[in-house]
Structure 1
């Protein structure tokens, strides 16, 4: 079944409305719950659309309702990117969660990619979902912004953009408000042990000599979370980092691994 687009009024959550895509669970299988997809930052959102759509269809075929929501100032939702704020994005995730919980019974999972994974983690402490599925989670907001700043520096070097007084918050073609940049810099995964089970999936280069491995920064966070009592299952897979690839690519191994992860977070047969 095709995903159904609609606009969700933000109401008290913020100005305007949010563009959503609802991928309904297949009627041919038993319902197993609902999933909110929280997209990554800036251009990574666009590069990831194909993989997000493929995964949503796979989840729907396994009995899950999936809701994609364009955060405020992103995609087809109200607002400009320059007006986006972390607090508004947090309210957007809550808005999506309330819509799903009102519409469909069963476990609720937050599925976040890159900075969207860090936002999912932040929201989990308020929304208390039943599980978190994290794809290539950003563990430090400050490091993530530095990465985008390097992209802008490269663009200026190769494009000859040396105009005086350039806005330091114009990064890789996106105007980022100082308030949003400051909020992102403050986000760190390590001090936020999740209140629910976590399935952590990463893509990493693979070779014939050694299998894919989690990043050292990820392992540090995961170890600290486990010491704090969190339940975390982590796995590295070989595959192309589609969120920043020059072309749209697919990673079937990640799609399969995510289905396996949801078997753990929301086992079949939990709903009558």
Structure 2
């Protein structure tokens, strides 16, 4: 049996608060949890599309004996602050805030940073700054933040084209961000600091990886005959060449973070149960 999630607000800088959901490990897990997991959500509307799948995955990990913390970053979800005021540095600070909270609740358990889409970039950047080793669970990781930003800005272009405009709009958007002006995209006010921070982020192995660091890399495709893209293969090779063993699985399922309707990906839950459920994942990934 898994305890009910603990929903609370975590105090943050400037009198703000961050919404957190803590999933305690299953009551069947005795003593120290198998591990502790900090979930880092995707960017903008992808976060909302992923809410259900994130909750299902958190429950699956808790049932497997892991302590799991979800945190809404500044300006996202039910956390305080405006999305338009958030910066990449703010989000990195929130990751450390979530880590402090998780470490207090499960001090001796091995740490996993779990990122989904843009959350993978936050996870890898945080890993490089940690003094103690941590493992990575990367779900649908981008090679960098640049294509994510481009994809997001195209939503504004699409809206302008529908209104009869759009010509030269990307250059204008870029110029506005370069001047330090926020831009509105699909109902989100995007600050230059957040845009430039996302664009500059890359999925880079840490410079001094610990010997025990493990990487689980999961991606989804709706095609039953799908194969790894060259970009993903090259990225996984970089991590392996850096001395970080990568357990990579390409699963069949919908891109739930961007589908029109809220969808589930059972194959992702099954993979988490298999990789994390029957043995310590840090050993299974070896």
Q: Same fold (TM over 0.5)?
A: yes
Match of 2:218 among 186, 196, 201: 201
Q: 1:218 aligns to what?
A: 232
Structure 2 CA distance, aligned partners of 1:194 and 1:40?
26
Deviations 1:204-237 (A, max 9, x none): 1323xx3x32222111111112112121111101
Structure 2 portions without partners, runs of 5+: 178-182
Q: 2:25 aligns to what?
A: 25
Deviations 1:124-145 (A, max 9, x none): 1123443110100121111110
Structure 2 CA distance, aligned partners of 1:190 and 1:215?
18
Structure 1 CA distance, aligned partners of 2:60 and 2:120?
20
Q: 1:3 aligns to what?
A: 5
Structure 2 CA distance, aligned partners of 1:193 and 1:203?
28
| Aligned CA distance change for structure 1 residues 152 and 193 (closer, same or farther; 3 Å) | farther
Q: 1:77 aligns to what?
A: 79
Q: 2:281 aligns to what?
A: 265
The answer to whether the 8 A contact 1:112-1:135 is kept is yes
Q: Does 1:152 align with 2:173?
A: no
Structure 1 portions without partners, runs of 5+: none
Report the alpha carbon displacement of residue 86 of structure 1 after superposing the two structures with TM: 0.9
**Aligned Cα root-mean-square deviation (Å):** 2.2
Deviations 1:3-40 (A, max 9, x none): 221011124xx651111011111112232121111000
How many residues are treated as equivalent by the alignment?
262
What is the SS of the residue equivalent to 2:114? Answer: strand
After TM superposition, the structure 1 = structure 2 runs for residues 153-192 of structure 1, keeping only pairs within 5 Å, are 153-159=157-163, 169-190=183-204, 192=206
Structure 2 CA distance, aligned partners of 1:243 and 1:99?
27
Q: 1:100 aligns to what?
A: 102
Structure 2 CA distance, aligned partners of 1:121 and 1:97?
14
The answer to whether the 8 A contact 2:115-2:122 is kept is yes
Structure 2 CA distance, aligned partners of 1:244 and 1:193?
32
